[in-house]
Structure 1
């Protein structure tokens, strides 16, 4: 009979391309993952991996095993959930949650006190991961629940084995000093209001930089970007020093220092935050408890 650990190891190797990367994801040594794959090959009777440059690829037999793996994992999880449902259905045990940094700070951390009061036997183990990695971790069974945000307005594609639920809509505001001329306006800011001002913004490739570029998509001139900084606390320090504005998502925004204010935008940049989990875990009392604590706001 195929061992579940060996099956999970092969699936991780298939997704990441090397034994070393799979070992890092699974928390094993590369030697241990290699031994699991060899046991799997003995159990199925044929090779499941073949060398490919510095990495490995699946053989046709290995691909067939990986294609069947989701059904195996879902069946095992249904068995576990069925056993749990025999009890009183109270959330208990450990739930492995993966989430992007500002989702942890802005959504998970504030929900923890109420969750501890309503589900005292439930423990959350939280790991920071980018959305793509988080979805892969849940799909592979190395995490139970993911918090992810969409990319440029498009939700990340989900494997058929998973489902999602919207838990939050994040928006961006302009941060500026209280004595800035724009701070005196008692209405949402427009693109025309923002023209001609200097900025600190997140580096290219980030969601926040995409938001920033969209603000000036119709502007006749390029915006005056003075600083590219990924850390939002550092952005605030540069705004406080005077001379620049910043566009910061509310989830990501640290407490404003003295002398700083925010102003909303007429065309607010938005991103949707979703919770994602395996369909086979629908009945999990632990996941239901966390989803309840993360009601859409």
Structure 2
């Protein structure tokens, strides 16, 4: 009979293209993954991998097995979750959650600290949305928090994953209480922001994209003094009174007495969703964490 571990190794190799990367994802050595693949080939009697440059590809037989393996994993997971759901009902065990950094700070940290489910251990790993969805699909994580990057197309979601909205994150401008912008009592527009110096996240980040959109139609380039990825460090520079920052609310630590957040007339936004395998729909742990995270569908 084909071993479940060998099926999982084959699907990981198919997704990542090398034994080494599959081993890293699965938490094994490359040698152990290679042995699993060899056992699978002995069990089915045909090769399932073929060399391709520095990596490997699935043979037609290997692809057929990998395609069918998803149904096997889903059936096994449904069996396990059904057993859990008809037990005492209290979430227990370990739930592996992957999420982007600001969702960890603003959404997951209170859940991890919640005393509501004392037998549930929540393990959190920081991953970007595309990687997080792949981890859940591959079975190396149970639940993901992802975002749509302010209207940009979200990472493709496999049909095997379910998804639910949990939060809308909004960006505000944070300034020192002595800064001229702190005295304005209306939402800030492009004219109000012109001429001020900034600290912002580096290019390539979602928050830098937010920042660039603020000045998309401005006649002059904004005065960017500092590029800093850490928001707490950004706020320490803002406290000097010489620069201002665009900070997502999820990423914002308590501002204290020296700083104030000013809303924007057209604030950048991103929708945050939770994603999980449909085969784990009955999981008491997933249901418990989703309940802690916030609104159900129909928000």
Q: TM-score, normalising length from structure 2?
A: 0.95
Partner of 1:227: 226
Aligned residues: 295
Partner of 1:98: 98
Partner of 2:12: 12
Partner of 1:84: 84
CA distance in 2, matches of 1:216, 1:34: 52
CA distance in 2, matches of 1:278, 1:259: 45
Moved over 3 A (4+): none
Deviation at 1:257, TM superposition (A): 4.6
Pair 1:202 & 2:201 matched: yes
C-alpha offsets along residues 71-95 of structure 1, whole Å, 9 cap, x if unaligned? 1110001111222233132211111
Partner of 1:191: 190
Partner of 1:47: 47
Partner of 2:34: 34
Partner of 1:236: 235
- Residues 52-63 of structure 1 mapped to structure 2, 5 A cutoff: 52-63=52-63
Query: Conserved in 1, the CA contact under 8 Å of 2:82 and 2:283?
Result: no
CA distance in 2, matches of 1:188, 1:262: 11
Once superposed, what is the RMSD of the aligned Cα atoms? 1.4
What SS does the aligned partner of 2:250 have? coil
Pair 1:146 & 2:135 matched: no
C-alpha offsets along residues 142-162 of structure 1, whole Å, 9 cap, x if unaligned? 111111111342332210100
CA distance in 2, matches of 1:88, 1:239: 51
What SS does the aligned partner of 1:251 have? helix
**Long gaps (5+) in structure 2:** none
Higher mean alpha-carbon deviation, 165-174 vs 144-153, is at 144-153
Partner of 2:68: 68
CA distance in 2, matches of 1:86, 1:248: 44
Deviation at 1:254, TM superposition (A): 2.3
**Long gaps (5+) in structure 1:** none
Deviation at 1:251, TM superposition (A): 0.7
Deviation at 1:204, TM superposition (A): 1.1
Deviation at 1:103, TM superposition (A): 1.0
- Residues 99-114 of structure 1 mapped to structure 2, 5 A cutoff: 99-114=99-114
Partner of 2:181: 182
Deviation at 1:48, TM superposition (A): 1.1
Deviation at 1:258, TM superposition (A): 4.1
Query: Conserved in 1, the CA contact under 8 Å of 2:203 and 2:209?
Result: yes
Q: TM-score, normalising length from structure 1?
A: 0.95
Deviation at 1:228, TM superposition (A): 1.2
CA distance in 2, matches of 1:109, 1:51: 44
C-alpha offsets along residues 46-87 of structure 1, whole Å, 9 cap, x if unaligned? 111111111111111111111112111100011112222331
CA distance in 2, matches of 1:243, 1:126: 36
Query: Conserved in 1, the CA contact under 8 Å of 2:189 and 2:266?
Result: yes
Deviation at 1:235, TM superposition (A): 0.9
